[in-house]
Amino acid sequence: MGPRGAAGGRSAWVRGRVPAALAVLTAGLLAFHRAVPNTGLRLGSLLEAFLPWLGLAVLPLLLLALLRRSATALTALLLPVAAWTYVFGGLLLPAPDPGPRELVVVQHNVSDENPDPAGTARTLAAAEPDIVALEELVPPALRVYEKALAPHFPFHAVRGTVGLWSKHPISGTRLLDIKPLGIGEGWSRGLRTLVHTPHGDVAAYVAHLPSVRVRASGLAASSRDESAGLLGQAVAAERTGTVILMGDLNGTAEDRGLAPLTSRLNVAERGFALSFPAAFPLSRIDQVMARSATVDDIRTLPATGSDHLPVAARIALGRGTAAG
């Protein structure tokens, strides 16, 4: 009985080497995703687009460990759990209480094929934000948004296909040139304006970066990355201390393609707010970032006629610094 028990104890640690190895690999990808090469197929950005979902690998690995009755595999599963918690656990914590110097902003790609712009405007206004940033504004829907939002937001500006509506006065609105090489002259997806809030001036940026595509040759994101670099340069040159960036950036906060922005701006500290696609959100590509301010939390709003979900963020002014 003794020898057989000892052998059984040893086998529980020997069995399950494959799920244990997969658990270690999963933990490594979560914790060291920046080490995944991003040349050629751009596997790094592709992984980072869906990085939180990698934690689901724990479930089948747990089942395998239980079926194999492997102590080794069960112990190894602690690694991806710890790695996921380290990277994303903070997003699950309760948001801090609202402060006296706070703005609520809403970001939404309304879709140029939205069948109900008036209903979309009502959904956004119901969140009672101070600022609303919209992308894919096209006539005649633009006129509908202007009419529907005017009672709530007396100040607004539109440049190209992006716009900003504000409860507070704005000035100094200008077109933001973030057009990558190789895209036609009609492409206009960025603006900068100054919002005069009761707590001081805020430089507000609205941007819609080029789309990325998954192809047989890998992730096509060079135009998005180039546009992100131009936007990052504009933010770096901004002389107003407090900056808020809102936009469809076609990338997650973890995606290294957005490093020119995430290295200079704070991202949301609480909330996942997966925004795309609206029917089954897999990632948050609609972003709110800030400099010399903190994005306390971010959440999704009810679905509209767009293929994106709107997101609403609470921003504490005068608290926080630029990342990096």
35, burial (CB in 10 Å: exposed 0-12, middle 13-18, buried 19+): exposed
We report the CATH number of the domain holding residue 243 as 3.60.10.10
Domain count, the chain: 2
Q: Percent of the chain beyond pLDDT 90? A: 84
Q: Residue 5 above 50 pLDDT?
A: no
Q: Are residues 88 and 111 in the same domain?
A: no
Q: Are residues 263 and 213 in the same domain?
A: yes
Tell me whether residue 84 is in a domain: yes
Tell me whether residue 253 is in a domain: yes
Which of 92, 113, 145 is a domain's end point?
92
Structural domain containing residue 284: 102-317
The predicted-structure confidence for 66-104, as pLDDT tens digits, reads as follows 998 899 999 999 999 999 999 999 999 998 888 889 999
CA–CA distance, 201 with 166 (Å, rounded to integer)? 13
**What is the pLDDT averaged over residues 226-230?**
98
Q: Are residues 83 and 137 in the same domain?
A: no
The torsion angles phi and psi of 269, rounded to 5 degrees, stand at: -90, -20
Tell me whether residue 230 is in a domain: yes
CA–CA distance, 257 with 218 (Å, rounded to integer)? 14
Q: Are residues 126 and 191 in the same domain?
A: yes
Tell me whether residue 323 is in a domain: no
- The answer, as to whether pTM is greater than 0.85, is yes
